[in-house]
Amino acid sequence: MKKAISVIIIFLAAQVATPIVAVYILKAIGDSGLFGQVNLETVADSPIGLSILLIIAYGTTVLALYGFRLLSPGAGLARRALHIIPAVLTLLFAEVPITFMQEILKLPDITVNTNVGPLMHNALGIITIVIVGPVVEELVFRRAVLGSLMEGGMRPLRAVIISGLLFGLIHFNPAQMLPAAILGCLLGWVYVRTGNLLSSIILHAINNGLSVLIANTAYADTTLSELTGSTALSAVAACLCAGIAILLLRIYNKHTEEEPIITEEVNED
């Protein structure tokens, strides 16, 4: 557990330290007059500038994890095939009840009036969200946090839930915490069942890619109730999709079961 806490502290420290260091660097650049008036506010207000800050923070996190040897080598998990198609289908159907719960709970979204949204409409921002973010966050929350919990003797299911909840809390946005926690649990379970970090990275990238895709369509601000025509139909759709997601998860578990060791009987004459 101490190792997992250390990983979270490093992740948070990188997110906080990056803009602080950037303040001094940009101040020095601004004082030099080489690039005109440059400061953290103007950089952070730019989607490209914010993307660069995020990439630097992610890079710092990975370097720190390797430097302090906090990346679990595999947590004793057997490496199996990805079985990505059942996992993707599970994710797609799970999105519907998650979206419905967000609409019902109406949790505040603190990113509405920030400059985070424009990242989804910028090429570098999209790369950060769809590729860089999933790779680093899976290294942090699946391989490092989840892996260290299991290496400490924690049962896989409990470790998956704890790492998923931490993944939700780390977003610090009430509107994102619940879906991120559920996503974190699904990604954790996929990682445990396959022992392959690439499987959770692909799934995470697909999830973020869908968010970017929707944000760039006319349905960006459309609710599930508006699509179905009523809250009652939304509830039915959410329950139906939740049932299908659970069924698909059972199928996924079956496909990722350990194959029994077959031994040949030797007949002694």
Q: What is the pLDDT of residues 191-237, one digit of tens each?
A: 999 988 999 999 999 999 999 999 888 788 888 889 888 999 999 99
Residues 6 and 264: their CA atoms lie apart, in Å, by: 47
Q: What is the pLDDT, as a whole number, of residue 264?
A: 45
Q: Is 55 exposed, middle or buried (0-12, 13-18, 19+ CB in 10 A)?
A: middle
Q: In this model, does residue 58 exceed pLDDT 60?
A: yes
Give the pLDDT mean for 133-147: 95
Task: Identify the residue with better confidence: 39 or 108.
Answer: 108
Average pLDDT score, the chain: 85
3-state DSSP: the chain helix, strand, coil percent, rounded to 5?
75, 0, 25
Q: What is the pLDDT, as a whole number, of residue 112?
A: 62
Task: Identify the residue with better confidence: 33 or 57.
Answer: 57
Instruction: Say if CB 179 and CB 102 are below 8 A apart.
Output: yes
**CB 155: neighbour CB atoms within 10 A?**
10
Q: Is 188 exposed, middle or buried (0-12, 13-18, 19+ CB in 10 A)?
A: buried
Residues 39 and 260: their CA atoms lie apart, in Å, by: 61
**CB 162: neighbour CB atoms within 10 A?**
19
Give the pLDDT mean for 127-148: 95
pLDDT band (50, 70, 90) for residue 45 = low
Any residues with CB less than 8 A from the CB of 224 and at least 6 apart, and which?
Answer: 96, 99, 100, 103, 234, 237, 238
Q: What is the pLDDT, as a whole number, of residue 53?
A: 85
Distance of CA 10 to the CA centre of its chain: 17
The b-or-e profile of 96-134 (16+ CB within 10 A means b, else e) is: bbbbbebeeeebeeeeeeeebebbbebebbbebbbebbb
Q: In this model, does residue 269 exceed pLDDT 50?
A: no
Q: Where are the domains of the chain?
A: 2-217+224-255
**CB 90: neighbour CB atoms within 10 A?**
23
Instruction: Say if CB 178 and CB 98 are below 8 A apart.
Output: yes
Give residue for tokens 């001094």: 24
